[in-house]
Amino acid sequence: MIGFCVIMVGTMGFFSQKLGIDLGTANTLVYVPKKGVVLVEPSVVAVSEFDNRILAVGNEAKDMIGKTPDSIIAYRPMRDGVIADYRVTEAMLRYYINKALGGFNIFKPDVMISVPAGVTSTERRAVIEAAIKAGAKNAYVVKEPILAAIGAGIKIHEAQGRMIVDIGGGTTDVAVISLGGIVCSTSVKCAGNKIDQAIIDHMKKTYNLSIGDQTAEEIKVTIGAALPLEEELSMKVKGRDFIAGLPRTVEVKTNEIVKAIDKELRLMIKAIKDVLQETPPELASDIIDNGIIMSGGSSMLRHFPDLVERRTGVKAVLAEDAFFCVAKGTGIALEHLDTYKRSIFAKK
């Protein structure tokens, strides 16, 4: 989803509160039905090595990445869209649930969690258990492409083939949806974080410059693109010289970043092509008419839809509020729980 995590909160009836959580690799968004997004924070936790205590979560923890002493580790407990560290993920969920509900939360909320399309049953169970231990009364698991499609305004219950490509921080989820269900899909562990890593590797090989994850993300957002630009953007990048070991500044331009991230973009395009090749002919015809809808933070890379269209021959468009599609989808699904329950939820 630059990839991410969503928590949506709503009060349905006086006693029954509902939260939707898109447990993303990169970010956590908190969305309140009828209020919109109320909180956007990174999925990062800072832990003390000395006593294994959690020191900070979200923005405060992200500011510590790459700047901590040996006794503190700041890291992401989600990897490629699934739980890599169960205990820390549970603590992170508890923090966001409490922050979203406020200090006067007496009743446990029902929680809806989004997971990648390729999630295994073991990973699904881990997510549900973490949510329940973090304070949820009930937990539902929903596949990301379904929520992204709902949030992008696609009427998923129609007998129409619609293709959604959701690109977050850890995974690229591609799915063809018809009659409220996923007909064919794939999930590849190549998205925003892999693009950032490719930029770090490029700076090392080309300029002998060491940069961190946050600088790489800044380069991607400020000057990155999926296709070469006639009028290139440029930016000054600060880092540490590998040879001299001293701070240094270099100027970087768009088209060299396009080349640096080409391999990662090819993997994402391949995932889209693989799903198109599996799509039944009648639905393929609908996709040609309706186009490919792109959502998630990493799909907002400059000219990404143009690249998809060029490589697949199918028109691709960026969803409105692409960054918030899964968040909005959770809000809509929460408000119409009975409508969507049968087709998209797997309750513990």
When pLDDT is cut at 50, 70 and 90, the band that residue 344 belongs to is low
When pLDDT is cut at 50, 70 and 90, the band that residue 287 belongs to is very high
Give me the domain span that covers residue 242. 196-258
At which of 220, 240, 258 does a domain end? 258
Q: What's the pLDDT at 340?
A: 75
Mean pLDDT of the 254-265 span: 97
Amino acid at 57: V
- Weakest mean pLDDT among 49-63, 169-183, 228-242: 49-63
When pLDDT is cut at 50, 70 and 90, the band that residue 347 belongs to is very low
Query: Can you tell me the distance from the alpha carbon of 77 to that of 28, in angstroms, rounded to the nearest whole number?
Result: 12
pLDDT digits (tens, 9 = 90+) for 194-236: 999 999 999 999 999 999 998 999 999 999 999 999 999 999 9
At which of 258, 280, 308 does a domain end? 258
Q: Does 44 share its domain with 137? A: yes
When pLDDT is cut at 50, 70 and 90, the band that residue 343 belongs to is low
Q: Does 122 share its domain with 61? A: yes
Q: What's the pLDDT at 311?
A: 97
Query: N- to C-terminal Cα distance for the chain?
Result: 24
Q: What's the pLDDT at 54?
A: 87
Q: What's the pLDDT at 103?
A: 63
Cβ pair 149, 60 in contact under 8 A: no
Q: Does 161 share its domain with 244? A: no
Q: Does the pLDDT of residue 6 top 80, yes or no?
A: no
Mean pLDDT of the 28-34 span: 76
Q: Does 69 share its domain with 184? A: no
Displacement of CA 259 from its chain's centroid (Å): 24
Tokens at 288, concatenated = 């040609």
> What is the overall mean pLDDT for the chain?
87
Q: Does 164 share its domain with 287? A: yes
Q: Does 90 share its domain with 164? A: no
Q: Does 11 share its domain with 111? A: yes
**Global confidence as pTM:** 0.88
CATH of the domain at 212: 3.90.640.10
Going by C-alpha positions, the residue among 86, 99, 81, 62 that lies closest to residue 23 is: 81
At which of 242, 258, 274 does a domain end? 258
Angle CA 22–48–41, to nearest 5: 25
Q: Does 11 share its domain with 89? A: yes
Q: How many domains does the chain have?
A: 3
Give the C-alpha distances (Å, rounded to integers) separating 166 from 55, 145, 282.
32, 6, 23
Q: In what order do the strands lie in the sheet with 72-75?
A: 54-57, 45-48, 72-75
DSSP character for 335?
A: H
Q: Does 105 share its domain with 250? A: no
Q: What's the pLDDT at 212?
A: 92
CATH of the domain at 168: 3.30.420.40
Q: Does the pLDDT of residue 348 top 50, yes or no?
A: no
Q: Does 166 share its domain with 278? A: yes
Q: Is the dihedral of CA 187, 125, 142, 299 positive or negative?
A: negative
Question: Quick one: which H or E segment has residue 260?
Answer: helix 254-260
Q: Which residue do the tokens 């070991």 mark?
A: 245
Q: Does 235 share its domain with 204? A: yes
CA torsion 154-181-323-211 (nearest 10°) is: -150
pLDDT digits (tens, 9 = 90+) for 104-140: 667 888 888 888 888 888 988 998 999 999 888 888 8
Q: Does 209 share its domain with 168? A: no
